[in-house]
Structure 1
Amino acid sequence: MRRCPVLCGILLIFLTISLSGQKYTLSGYVQDNATGERLIATSVYDSISGKGTSTNEYGFYSLSLPAGEIRLKASYVGYSTFSETIRLGANLSMNIHLEPSLQLEEVVVTTNRPGDVVRDVQMSAVHIPVKEIKSIPMFMGEADVIKTIQLMPGVQSGTEGTSGIYVRGGGPDQNLFLLDGVPIYNANHLFGFFSVFNPDAISSITLTKGGFPAHYGGRLSSVLDIRLKEGNMKEFKGSGSVGLIASKLTLEGPLLRDKTSFILSARRTYLDILARPIIRAVNKANGVEGMTGYYFYDVNAKINHKFSEFDRIYLSLYHGRDRLYINNEENRIDDDTSYQTRSEAGLYWGNLTTALRWNHVYGNKLFSNASLIYSNYRFDTFDETQTLVNGKYDLGYSYDYYSGIEDVGGMVDFDYRPSTAHTLRFGSKYLYHTFSPGIETLESTDDTLRLEFNSDPVYAHEFYVYGEDNFQLGSRIRANVGLHYSAFIVRGKYYHSLQPRFSGRLLITPDLSLKAAFTRMDQYIHLLTNSTIGLPTDIWVPATDQTPPQRSYQSALGLAYNLKDSWYFTLEGFYKTMNGLIDYSEGSSFFSYGVDWEDKIERNGSGLSYGLEFLARKDLGRIRGWVGYTLSKVDLQFANLNNGNPYPYTYDRRHDVSVVVMFRVDEQTDLSATWVYGTGKARTLAVSRYAPDNYHFENTGSGIIYYGPYSSGYYTPEIEYFKGKNAYREPAYHRLDVAMNRHRETKWGRQTWSFGVYNAYNRQNPFYLFFGYDNYGNRALKQMSIFMLIPSISYSFEF
């Protein structure tokens, strides 16, 4: 009997140890309390133990902690911090509702949250709040996602005013644009001056420039992952805007409260409507009947339904289209004979995407997303002319060119969180591609002539599988290690690659970390482009048995520093090599009619890009903004271009600076300004010229006259000497934009008047360069500048 107290004591000790080591899982979703919108990348943590996690792209979190009392907190910029004390004694499902913060400076940002830029293992990534996009100065009064991305270090813009991006030396085809997980192949409206992404329909924006985790693949340089809003689950809401060139309207609300919601957002320009009276008057003055116009529109729609806390489905759609049209009719009478000439020409291009997704939670640690996706991009241009003599057909022809790419596929992704020390992701994706590189048709309208020049459609299968683990080693080291295996089957050729991915973080102090990353990326599609203003004549083509895929290796090393929870600083160096690049051969272009695309190109090009990026950013308080600086160099090399020697990439900018400042004067007024500076683009220009043998020339003051054995005059061919490809630098580019937003609360909602000035000090930046003559008849290099000081005004509302 004496042994009983001893045995009971021993059992009590073991039971205490067992209970103290017991862990339970707290899981659920984080969402906006006012709308029910799920919040991505929200920090969820126990402030007692310091352990935590962040929500995935669907707002799901899973946090395993020891039994006992925890102080659960959740924080997200723009929302008041959630805090609740819980005694954890069993697995618990708990949704967290965050309240939007009325005063941005009151938002609590705690340095021990895992989502902090210092503690996050991911480097070379930028998260941009949608409200920030609407706060900074806007080109022509239109808020634009990609133009905001251009203000980040490591991201170069294309020609002035356009929305193309060139990331760490990569080309425009090396950026993967994802809209709700579906690839967008042409992200431009209005010849590149606006992007296809309507900020009113967007929930989150993340740009990744390097250190790519294994679940991303298919492009060499960047991933822009954009998620659409889900729709208000609580009440019907709307918003819209009216600007100088476009208007938008967004409607959202519950179909079944807290069960089913929808969002519908539409946008259209009205340049064609506003300019119609002017164009009609000009044409009439010149004796021509007809109309010329341009417009674009896009529509985003999404519906989601919650079956239970474990199952939800989403159906999303995007459709956008640009249309440029020219319709003319000219009538004349000559010697009692009437002639009527009718002509019609146009450019049409656009995207159609859709996705059907199913989210399911298995238990409290495993989350899955399965999707069926469809993407279609099409470009079509045509020209038709017909002549009638005395009302009867005499002569006519038509020309049509079509190209595009279509994807059908599916993917499944799993997110498994066994503990706070590990987050596992694994999954796969399959795409069936149909490439239409170019179908040309030339025919007479009386069917007596028909010619076709076709680049045959190319069909391809692309798939990948991946796995990655984001894990903690002790209190200072965290890493994300993964493998991405991809394959591409085209014309009987099987390309495949195993791509290692690594990102690591060493926490030097609570406010300072050292980060490193290494990635290999393979890309199985190319973009043939010879345009610098975003024309849709760019053609998507696949890797084939003759044209190999692109490949890159990128290494990065950097520091991240958090200053008093208000400022953070990042400094990153990167080194990237690229192989398998293509470009048009000398003398070839989109306009080389009747030639197959594989006969127009140079293959197996290589590129080298390296540089240093600095970012200082302040996200809280009345004064917010950032300063970005990039020092970089990019060289390309092709065997048959520039005599096989390396040459600067067109968008190789040695120095690139951006300064963004946002100042909230009071609840009704906020001011903002952006200033950008960049080294001039590299161009190929002749440095001298000379007359052919046996020719000489004389400058007469009114022009240059050539004299030779066979001809003389003002227009005799001359020989130009080029020092090298892209050996000339344009003048440096710089510009200041300013804006003011004036808000007013009303009985029905909120209204905002926005005033802005683009290029406030009227800098004449070159749009393109050309050779002409000065006032003395001497040949001179001149520039065309089209974006001078441009004021804008827009009105927006919410209800």
Structure 2
Amino acid sequence: MNKPIGLLCLLLSVLLLFDTSVMGQNASKITISGYIKEAGSAELLPGVHVMLKGTRIGTQSNNYGFYSLSFQAQDSIEVVYSFVGYQVFSQKVHAKSKSVTINVDLKPSNQDLEEVKVVANSIEQQKLSEQVQMSQISIPIQQIKEIPAFMGEKDVLKVLQLMPGVQKGSEGNAGIYVRGGGPDQNLLILDDAPVYNAYHLFGFFSVFNGDALKSVELTKGGFPARFGGRLSSVIEMQMKEGSKQDYHVEGGIGLIGARVVAEGPIDKQKRSSFLVSARRTYLDILTQPLIPKEQKGSRYYFYDFNAKLNYDFGQKNRLFLSGYFGQDRLYVRDMQLQSKLESSIEWGNQTATMRWNHLYSDNLFSNLSLIYSKYDFTTSSLQSNLDAIGINNFSLYYSSGIRDLGAKFDIDFLPNPIHTLKAGALVTMHRFTPSAIELQDDVASRYKDAVENIDALELGVYVEDNYKPLPNLRFNVGLRYSSFSTSEKEYHNWEPRGAMAWTLPKDWALKASYAVMNQYIHLVSNSGASLPTDLWVPSTNLIKPQRSQQVALGFAKDFPERQFSITLEGFYKTMNQIVALKEGSSFILNGSIQRFTQTKTQESPWESNMTAGKGRSYGAEFLLQKKTGKFSGWIGYTLSWIFHQFDELNFGKEFYPKYDRRHDLSLVGIYHLKPNVTLSATWVYGTGNVFTIPISTYEVYSHIPGLNQTGVNQYYNSAREIPDYRERNNFRAPPYHRLDVGVQFHKKMKKGHTRTWEFGVYNLYNRKNAYFYSFKSTYNTTTDQTTKSLAQYALFGIIPSATYSFKF
């Protein structure tokens, strides 16, 4: 392991020496650096474009709002700062020294309800055609808040489903499938901490409260070397830091839940701030009158809690503490005269991050993060039955989960506009609890099936360079080394990355990228619906790491005068060692039940229930996006094919996975009709999901031995109906489409606070989209025959919603 790290350190040293020599040859250079914040709250802003007016020399602020820009000394130069949703700011610099610190406060472009400001783009504003990164999408948080939502609950992941290259799961589900990958192949990061199960209510809502988020960015290809550990996408989310200037409270009440966010300064010097956010559903309260008397006590609810503290020690040091805690709880109670049942299902996430930013010089920035993440799932059941023998008690307890302890160190070195270097390392100690089940029965004694905790160490070291050899040519080249080790097995892999952007006349750009990704942890699922019962398991001797290679080629075009951009991309991705359960396997009982006796039985490994295969996906994606202005939104279209092949599934033949869709179209529009009225609508269309249904059935007769009423041995005839599926996922549902609409009424109250009423309708024209299928039997008395027909069932029809929001 030391050899790969040493090689990366040597490569980084060579790059640093090269840039140092370049700087030595240009002693007359000036470096401008500082932090970019939001005016009024002092929130640090990532991704702000910083550019010298009249030139193509520029940079971007990093995730912590820091920027550094070096250029040839001049008597006077104007620096322009621009960011989507904020007013453009410019600063003239009269350089009298080689190092200039400029901290900037950007004003939101629509901070007052009385006026909707539309800021015209200029050549200095950020252009998609000038970014080397491709296959990356960012959505302004304000747009997320204005888009119609299912039951009025704003959901980041459901908004991402409206983007090209991102497939939806089943109806209403927040699960996402990116460029042919499964839900486990998406790395979801909240303030540097991975989130392993991002769903509430069995997948219908995500765990991320939009009111507490500052930025959301999806990367689905062309991955920079700093990202690793998953095959398909990275969804990076940053929480708000809390206002350092004033105290604010905002929240809302909807049909099924309520939320609140509070933020403000901690000390009088306004160097520190806090933010706390809470959300809870009250489904348990609303449904109580509908629950029968025998089932009183049954309930379901979920809650989220976010918190963040930060302290500014000055220009060189900043400290951030953040955490997320969420839980789903389902209780079922059934009290009958001769039986009693009490069951519960609980699952939830916990994350905590401590981050320290340090500025070594005006062009060398570092971040150190200590990370904790945990996901666990438990279910228990206690049942008592009264019969002629007496009371028989049965109990069940099952649990699974994953826990991470990690440390991450990153540095940004910005010596000159030609090179921007990044390097770092991430080490994570995983602890897996694949499954533990315990059963106790007064009649059948006591059983236990427990897989011991599995500890693993994952390491990633990377170096990447944004290189601009020519004014219209940019490269991002990088190399990542990753390793994964348990007590029985070690894996080591190199992951080369590369991206190129060639700027053409009239704001066109040609882009290309290549990335190799490795994934050492796997999600084992019976359903593919991101249920809490799904298991996270590590790579072992029998289960190899997943590996993908992806190439992408595309065009980007900016229309500055009209404030929108167009991207067109084609991709091809191969995936190896992807995992699935064998036919008929279950990850709960594993076939290794062990009786509590003095003699222990031989346990079979849980890996034996899994099988590995390969996949490939390819397609084209189109996105027309407008992020600002009176009218905003996007049009996204995806044409794609996905194939899986497992030697032990579908007779070894290729098949379409459930989330394969040939066509996927999303139309999203947001219109500010008046300063206090916002209209919005989304229309989605997609090829139907595939299902596995039997194409025929046949009956099998057998003779079963038994005793007749007189106690004499005899054989009984028995018939079983056996379905013939022929192939996996052999049926495709009709196309899916749906229209959602919403309207928001804003009003500024006398005491300075604002309130918003929002009314929305999900599935406006009541489309009955297929959720599942089953066969219905119909008996004809005339012909004395039974016929079967395939019945389609929908989950949701038209659903109205209303939400009241406030802010003061």
Give me the TM-score of the superposition, normalised by structure 2: 0.90
Residue 97 of structure 1 corresponds to 105
Q: Which of these residues, 286, 297, 322, is aligned with residue 291 of structure 1?
A: 297
Residue 82 of structure 2 corresponds to 75
Residue 755 of structure 1 corresponds to 759
d(CA) in 2 for partners of 1:112 and 1:254? 34
Residue 578 of structure 2 corresponds to 581
SS of corresponding position for 2:392: strand
Greater mean deviation of Cα atoms: 218-227 or 381-390: 381-390
Q: Does 1:365 align with 2:363?
A: yes
* Percent of aligned pairs sharing the same letter: 45
Distance 1:19 1:730, change over 3 A: closer
Q: Which of these residues, 643, 651, 668, is aligned with residue 643 of structure 1?
A: 651
Residues 488 and 540 in structure 2, CA contact (< 8 A), matched pair in contact too: no
Residues 439 and 448 in structure 2, CA contact (< 8 A), matched pair in contact too: yes
Amino acid at match of 1:795: Y
Greater mean deviation of Cα atoms: 726-735 or 788-797: 726-735
Distance 1:244 1:600, change over 3 A: farther
Residue 772 of structure 1 corresponds to 776
Amino acid at match of 2:228: G
Residue 548 of structure 1 corresponds to 544
d(CA) in 2 for partners of 1:384 and 1:399? 7
Amino acid at match of 2:344: G
d(CA) in 1 for partners of 2:134 and 2:157? 20
SS of corresponding position for 1:214: coil
Residue 260 of structure 1 corresponds to 272
d(CA) in 2 for partners of 1:735 and 1:787? 11
**Structure 2 stretches lacking a partner, 5+ long:** 1-23, 593-603, 704-714, 781-785
Q: How far does the alpha carbon of each residue in 1:391-428 deviate from its partner, in whole angstroms, 9 at most, with x for none?
A: x9832121000000000010100000001111100000
Residue 240 of structure 1 corresponds to 251
Q: Which of these residues, 741, 744, 749, is aligned with residue 741 of structure 1?
A: 744
Q: How far does the alpha carbon of each residue in 1:151-201 deviate from its partner, in whole angstroms, 9 at most, with x for none?
A: 000000111101000000000100000000100000000110000000010
Residue 223 of structure 2 corresponds to 212
Greater mean deviation of Cα atoms: 750-759 or 18-27: 18-27
Q: Which of these residues, 94, 109, 126, is aligned with residue 87 of structure 1?
A: 94
Residues 235 and 254 in structure 1, CA contact (< 8 A), matched pair in contact too: yes
Residues 165 and 621 in structure 2, CA contact (< 8 A), matched pair in contact too: yes
Distance 1:397 1:692, change over 3 A: closer
SS of corresponding position for 1:273: helix
Distance 1:432 1:19, change over 3 A: closer
Root-mean-square deviation over aligned CA pairs: 2.1
Which structure 2 residues correspond to residues 145-224 of structure 1 after superposition, within 5 A?
145-224=156-235
Task: Report deviation, 1:107.
Answer: 2.1
Q: How far does the alpha carbon of each residue in 1:82-106 deviate from its partner, in whole angstroms, 9 at most, with x for none?
A: 0121112311111011111135552
Which structure 2 residues correspond to residues 559-578 of structure 1 after superposition, within 5 A?
559-565=555-561, 566-578=563-575
Distance 1:19 1:485, change over 3 A: closer
Q: Which of these residues, 493, 498, 506, is aligned with residue 494 of structure 2?
A: 498
SS of corresponding position for 1:648: coil
Residue 483 of structure 2 corresponds to 487
Q: Which of these residues, 409, 412, 436, is aligned with residue 412 of structure 1?
A: 409
SS of corresponding position for 1:118: helix
d(CA) in 2 for partners of 1:774 and 1:454? 45
Residue 625 of structure 1 corresponds to 633
SS of corresponding position for 1:276: helix
Residue 554 of structure 2 corresponds to 558
SS of corresponding position for 1:77: coil
d(CA) in 2 for partners of 1:481 and 1:604? 31
Greater mean deviation of Cα atoms: 632-641 or 775-784: 775-784
Residues 222 and 499 in structure 2, CA contact (< 8 A), matched pair in contact too: yes
Task: Report deviation, 1:683.
Answer: 1.5
d(CA) in 1 for partners of 2:33 and 2:151? 45
Amino acid at match of 1:73: V
Q: Does 1:424 align with 2:427?
A: no
Residue 290 of structure 2 corresponds to 278
**Structure 1 stretches lacking a partner, 5+ long:** 1-17, 332-338, 696-708
SS of corresponding position for 1:219: coil
Amino acid at match of 1:512: W
d(CA) in 2 for partners of 1:413 and 1:84? 30
d(CA) in 1 for partners of 2:385 and 2:607? 36
Amino acid at match of 2:288: R
Which structure 2 residues correspond to residues 29-40 of structure 1 after superposition, within 5 A?
29-40=35-46
Residues 687 and 722 in structure 1, CA contact (< 8 A), matched pair in contact too: yes
Task: Report deviation, 1:693.
Answer: 8.0
Task: Report deviation, 1:450.
Answer: 2.5
Q: How far does the alpha carbon of each residue in 1:703-757 deviate from its partner, in whole angstroms, 9 at most, with x for none?
A: xxxxxx9758xxx423433332112111111100000011000124110000000
Q: Does 1:781 align with 2:777?
A: no
Q: Does 1:665 align with 2:673?
A: yes
Which structure 2 residues correspond to residues 11-90 of structure 1 after superposition, within 5 A?
22-68=28-74, 69-90=76-97
Q: How far does the alpha carbon of each residue in 1:326-352 deviate from its partner, in whole angstroms, 9 at most, with x for none?
A: 123223xxxxxxx5x332101000000
Amino acid at match of 1:381: T
Residues 454 and 594 in structure 1, CA contact (< 8 A), matched pair in contact too: no
Distance 1:781 1:788, change over 3 A: same
Residue 128 of structure 1 corresponds to 139
Q: Does 1:605 align with 2:613?
A: yes
Amino acid at match of 2:263: E
Q: Does 1:345 align with 2:343?
A: yes
Residues 443 and 451 in structure 1, CA contact (< 8 A), matched pair in contact too: yes
Q: Which of these residues, 528, 531, 538, is aligned with residue 527 of structure 2?
A: 531
Alignment length, in residue pairs?
749
Residues 766 and 797 in structure 2, CA contact (< 8 A), matched pair in contact too: yes
Amino acid at match of 1:418: P
Q: How far does the alpha carbon of each residue in 1:305-327 deviate from its partner, in whole angstroms, 9 at most, with x for none?
A: 01111101011010000000012
Residues 491 and 544 in structure 1, CA contact (< 8 A), matched pair in contact too: no
Q: Does 1:398 align with 2:395?
A: yes
Residue 476 of structure 1 corresponds to 472
Amino acid at match of 1:62: S
Distance 1:784 1:487, change over 3 A: same
d(CA) in 2 for partners of 1:330 and 1:383? 16
SS of corresponding position for 1:536: coil
Residues 416 and 424 in structure 1, CA contact (< 8 A), matched pair in contact too: yes
Residue 803 of structure 2 corresponds to 794
Q: Does 1:726 align with 2:742?
A: no
SS of corresponding position for 1:718: strand
d(CA) in 1 for partners of 2:457 and 2:161? 33
Q: Does 1:679 align with 2:684?
A: no
Residue 512 of structure 2 corresponds to 516
Task: Report deviation, 1:600.
Answer: 4.9
d(CA) in 1 for partners of 2:638 and 2:25? 54
Residue 384 of structure 1 corresponds to 382
SS of corresponding position for 2:720: coil
Greater mean deviation of Cα atoms: 193-202 or 65-74: 65-74
